[in-house]
Amino acid sequence: MLRRSFRAMGTEMELLLDAESDPPLAEAEEELRRLESLLSRFLPESELSRLNAAGSLEVGPELLELAELAVAARVRTGGRFDPTVHDALVAAGYDRSFDLLDPGSRSVDEDGARCGGAVDVDSDAGRIVLEPGYRLDLGGIAKGWAADRVVAFLSQAGPALVNAGGDVSAVGAAWPVGVETPAGTLTLELEAGGIATSGRDRRIWQRHGEERHHLIDPVTGEPATSDVLTVTVAATSAAEAEVLATSLFLAGSVEHAAAEADAEAIPAVLVGADGEVRLAGGLS
């Protein structure tokens, strides 16, 4: 089993490949770094940053595809997954890469920002147009989407798995994926598809003595408040798992999230603020 670890897209990356030659892993790392250079909101010269600054831009196929995917996800989740939370994240204090963020104290705007801005993705013209006053953040879905893309490349050489900071995409084997919970590690078996976790247990900082996190409720423009601590979802891809995990996290409560996962057959591991672990969507 070949393994390669490095840091990219603001998180730890791990590539696993059941093959005999190493070059595909080096090429996969290069691709992830290339995608970061296009899609990061923290890099001023990235294509995403240039779009956010201009409000309208002819873009390459990667950003075009990802933006189209994100807009479709917003429709499917009834607005819970919203790619226009950029300014709300900045207002909450997440205005730079988390590696550079001082978790102890942030000087931020007093009020949240609006979400729900229009995003026009014109595939024929290769252009994205943002409603004035809104900017895109594609952080979570971009990592899942990139993991899916790189797994598809690696799978040409053998069974492969990409772990993009907890967004896992895999194919070609029964891969054991550990999910950390207060009750211990649960192991999910992933043969093809993705697993992602959304939660308020890690990317946290202080605002006026109060703990803040990066999961914005588009209704309020503020970090979501509920009894949900983390949601882990298995889906057909890591990008889809990221969308569903975010949507369930914003369901309002563990009870509502579990009921929704059961109703829609979304395999999910839910952890409440009290540490209770619930399995839903067919997991047992």
Domain residue ranges of the chain, discontinuous segments joined by +: 2-280
- Please say whether the beta carbons of 21 and 160 come within 8 A: no
The Cα angle at residue 40 between residues 36 and 46, in degrees rounded to 5 = 85
Per-residue confidence (pLDDT) for residue 178, from 0 to 100: 95
Per-residue confidence (pLDDT) for residue 20, from 0 to 100: 81
Per-residue confidence (pLDDT) for residue 150, from 0 to 100: 97
Per-residue confidence (pLDDT) for residue 21, from 0 to 100: 72
Low-confidence ranges of the chain (pLDDT < 70): 94-112, 201-214
Per-residue confidence (pLDDT) for residue 181, from 0 to 100: 93
Beta bridge partners of 229: none
Residue 128 to residue 12: CA distance in whole angstroms: 30
Residue range 71-107, pLDDT digits in tens: 999 999 999 999 999 999 888 776 544 444 454 444 4
Which pTM was predicted? 0.89
Question: How would you label 29-63 residue by residue, b for 16+ Cβ within 10 Å and e otherwise?
Answer: bebbeebbebbbbbeeebbbbebbeeeebebeebb
- Containing 191, the helix (H) or strand (E) segment is strand 184-199
Per-residue confidence (pLDDT) for residue 207, from 0 to 100: 60
The CATH code belonging to domain 2-280 is 3.10.520.10
